[in-house]
Amino acid sequence: MQIHVIGGGIAGASIAYHLLKDGHDVTVFDRQDAGQATTVSAGIISPWVSQRRNKTWYQLVRTGAAYYPDFIKELEALSGHETGYLKTGAILFFKDQEVLPKAYKRILDKQQDAPEMGELMYLKPDQQQELFPMLTTDYPSLYLTGAGMVSGTNLVQALRVAIEKLGGKWQVSSAAPSKSVDFTVYSAGAWGNEHQQAVPISHQKAQLLHFTIDSEKVFPVVMGLKTHYIVSFGGGKFAIGTTHEDTTSFDDQPTEEAKAELLELAKMYFPNQQLMNLHMSVGLRPYTPHFLPVVQQVTESFVVVNGLGSSGLTAAPILGKEISAWLSQKPTTLSLKDFSWKEREE
Ligand SMILES: Cc1cc2nc3c(=O)[nH]c(=O)nc-3n(C[C@H](O)[C@H](O)[C@H](O)COP(=O)(O)OP(=O)(O)OC[C@H]3O[C@@H](n4cnc5c(N)ncnc54)[C@H](O)[C@@H]3O)c2cc1C
């Protein structure tokens, strides 16, 4: 089939890549809006620690995380580009000793279905310091070996190169659904209401604070208290996030308020450290009202894929593979009907 993919964030790029592997003729259109979620994403791949109970979501992100190593291996070989995917492990903080055993059990219970999450262990302060010396030891912690991270920017760059190597086209331009092709995939992130009304898309402004600390290596991801997280990029570069600001604005400018709030947190997690080279980045995270990704066939030749929310980098590669299988009339592993907006509305 001749297919247009509108939107070249991680959703569109993953779908286009898999469609090309399944033999379709694909053109991606991406207009590189400021605030694109993928390029500023923290890139944490660790769905097993979430307390979210929604089974459809968990099945998607669990399968997504399991697919990552094979997906990355093939993509890096084909594109010749590094994606920054690394199993760094994750340090998980909890507010007190009382909740620790419950959290340990909750996460460990997932291991049987998700062996890729690796080992889960209690950390003593000296063990935690060995893994991440600059980090506070004020909170009880666990360590999960299978957690990882990826660079959204590098990942999309690698996908774009692979798409072109596979014979697809990538146009840096705006596009609207066109009747001149067999099929259109509309994966436009926060801008996803412009050419369809079937699925309501909203977004949150998400701000991250970047800073440096005198250090070299890449440290484990930190899942802090509440929804805080810290990622380390190597070479002394770190980021802490994030804000969750519901908005209808497409303003991608950072705010002093968010910077102050995130700096406070950074100082709490890195006491006695000099935090240098502070700067902010901002992305617009696309959501549906149900906080679940949507794969909605609107007409015979038009599908909306959106609402990847705060776990889009984890979910998109497997979603791309499954959507391509479905459009190629091959069996899928996930039930894509579960991601239909109308099905959930009824
Ligand atoms: C700060 C932050 C941290 C995050 N951390 C994580 C994390 O740790 N782990 C994780 O799994 N996920 C994370 N996410 C979530 C993840 O980044 C998003 O879910 C994902 O990037 C959404 O991808 P997308 O392709 O749907 O949208 P986007 O990446 O926003 O891409 C949409 C693209 O469509 C283009 N477009 C729109 N309309 C048109 C048109 N008409 N024509 C052409 N192009 C168009 C836009 O220009 C844009 O480039 C984070 C997100 C943010 C913002």
* Best probe residue, ligand 1, of 29, 33, 68, 160 (max atoms within 8 Å of C-beta): 33
Question: What pLDDT score was predicted for residue 307?
Answer: 98
Smallest CA separation from ligand 1 atom 50, residue: 41
Give the model confidence (pLDDT) of 319-331 as tens digits. 999 999 999 999 9
Rounded mean pLDDT of the chain? 97
Question: Which atom of ligand 1 is least distant from the CA of 11?
Answer: 25
Question: Is residue 296 predicted with pLDDT exceeding 70?
Answer: yes
Decide: helix, strand or coil at residue 93: strand
Per this entry, what is the length of the chain? 346
Query: What token pair was written down for 292?
Result: 């679940």
The pLDDT of residue 343 is 64
Can you state the angle between helices 152-165 and 10-21, rounded to 10 degrees?
30
Contact between 13 and 161 under an 8 Å Cβ cutoff? The reply is no
For ligand 1, mutation pick of 285, 291, 305 (most atoms within 8 Å of CB): 285
pLDDT (average), residues 257-274: 97
- Whole-structure pTM over 0.95, yes or no? yes
* pLDDT score for 291: 93
Q: Does residue 345 surpass a pLDDT of 90? A: no
Tokens 């053109």 identify what position? 27
Query: Backbone dihedral region of 205: left (phi > 0), alpha (psi from -120 to 50 degrees) or beta?
Result: beta
Question: 100 C-alpha vs ligand 1 centroid, how far in Å?
Answer: 33
Atom of ligand 1 nearest to the CA of 241: 1
Query: Do residues 313 and 189 touch, judged by C-beta distance below 8 A?
Result: no
Position 313 scores a pLDDT of 98
Please report the domains of the chain, with CATH numbers, ordered by start residue.
1-86+148-201+289-346 (3.50.50.60)
Q: Is 38 in the pocket of ligand 1 (CB under 6 A)?
A: yes
Residue 58 host element (H or E): helix 55-79
pLDDT band at 70 (very low <50, low <70, confident <90, very high): very high
Q: Is the CB of 283 inside a 6 Å radius of any atom of ligand 1?
A: yes
Q: What is the DSSP string of 148-201?
A: EE--HHHHHHHHHHHHHHTT-EEE-S-----TTSSEEEE--GGGTTTT--SS--
Distance CA 197, CA 45 (A): 31
Q: How far, in Å, is the centroid of ligand 1 from the Cα of 219?
A: 25
What digits encode the pLDDT tens for the residues 56-67?
999 999 999 999
- The answer, yes or no, to whether residue 346 has pLDDT greater than 60, is no
The Å distance, Cα 250 to ligand 1 centre, comes to: 13
Q: What pLDDT score does 344 carry?
A: 65
Structure tokens given for 142: 């666990």
CA torsion sign for 56, 325, 18, 77 is positive
Nearest ligand 1 atom to the CA of 176 is: 41
CA atoms within 13 A on the CB side of 20: 24
Specify the pLDDT at position 289: 92
Q: What is the pLDDT of residue 342?
A: 72
Determine if residue 35 is left, alpha or beta; phi over 0 gives left, psi from -120 to 50 gives alpha, anything else beta.
left
Percent of all residues in the chain with a pLDDT value above 70, rounded to a whole number: 99
304: number of Cβ within 10 Å: 25
pLDDT, tens only, 119-131: 999 999 999 999 9
Please give the distance, rounded to the nearest whole angstrom, from the Cα atom of residue 274 to the centre of ligand 1. Answer: 32
- Write out pLDDT tens, residues 92-108: 999 999 999 999 999 99
Mean pLDDT in residue range 339-344:
80
